[in-house]
A = this chain, B = another copy of it.
Amino acid sequence: MTKTALVVSAHSADFVWRAGGAIALHAAKGFRVTVICLSFGERGESAKLWRLPGMTLDRVKSERQAEAAAAAKHLNVHDIQFWDLGDYPMELTREHLFRMVDVYRTIRPSFVMTHSRQDPYNFDHPMTNEFAQHARVIAQAHGHNPEQKVIGAPQVYLYEPHQTERSSWNPNVLMSIDSVWPQKRAAIECMAGQEHLWDYYTRVAMNRGNQTARNSEQTCTYGEAYEAVFPHVVESLA
């Protein structure tokens, strides 16, 4: 049976910078990866577009959607959904929460990726963290739509925020993304509206790569780092 993964992204570009390597890597391993973009980041993360004359909210959204869809293609995302819930601030209702529970129940992901618990630079990110984790726990509840099968206990990985130390984020998992780096870089380059971040996140990837090498005995040029929320259940310590 095909394995799956779920990425819950506050804005339509977050999954690229922060989890693009993990997505492409698992797609290459045969996982079907679903990405939910709760918003387009149309208000708060589209500065460059807003500087163009005659820009409207709808045009920003459609540009951002096109960028994200193109990036998703590079990463071999199986399904990308744009929920268009607004940003700065997001408004996440009980109804959206249950919609996300349905996603969990349908996809049954092997693991989940989302934002850090804190971020003084961005209030949508911790809100998305809470939302994604809360829905996961409800999807485990036998009394929620009892005719459906509950999910198990997929690990939740928090991907890298902008300034890690100020966001109380401490990575305990590192992964080489060398084999998919060209895809991630291509996806990054789809983000025409945030060109100033292309090289920023390339450097992040290279330094995480260095740390990946240092913490193992493999060579590694590009890496990604994550904080696992739950203990790892392992069968061997080696």
Residues of chain A having any CB pair with chain B under 8 Å: 3, 5, 22, 25-26, 29, 31, 42-47, 50-51, 55, 57, 60, 87-89, 91, 94, 97, 110-111, 113, 120-123, 130, 133-134, 137-138, 140-144, 146, 150, 152-153, 155-157, 162-166, 169-176, 196, 199-200, 203-204, 206-207, 210-212, 214-218, 225-226, 228-238
Contacts and interface: CB of A to CB of B under 8 A. Distances in A.
Total copies of this chain within the assembly = 6
A234 to B, nearest CB: 5
Given A29-B236, A237-B155, A89 B231 contact: no
A130 B120 CA distance: 10
Given A5-B237, A43-B143, A137 B174 contact: no
- Closest A-B pairs by Cβ, 8 of them: A43-B143, A203-B203, A152-B217, A44-B141, A216-B233, A50-B142, A110-B238, A47-B142
A26 B236 contact: yes
Contact of A173 (B142, B155, B210, B237): B237
A238 B111 contact: yes
A60 B143 contact: yes
Contact of A210 (B120, B200, B232): B200
A50 B155 CA distance: 25
Nearest to A218: B233
22 contacts: A22-B237, A43-B143, A43-B144, A44-B137, A44-B143, A46-B142, A87-B141, A88-B138, A120-B133, A122-B137, A155-B237, A162-B211, A163-B211, A163-B214, A166-B231, A172-B232, A200-B206, A203-B206, A204-B207, A215-B230, A215-B233, A228-B232
Nearest to A120: B229
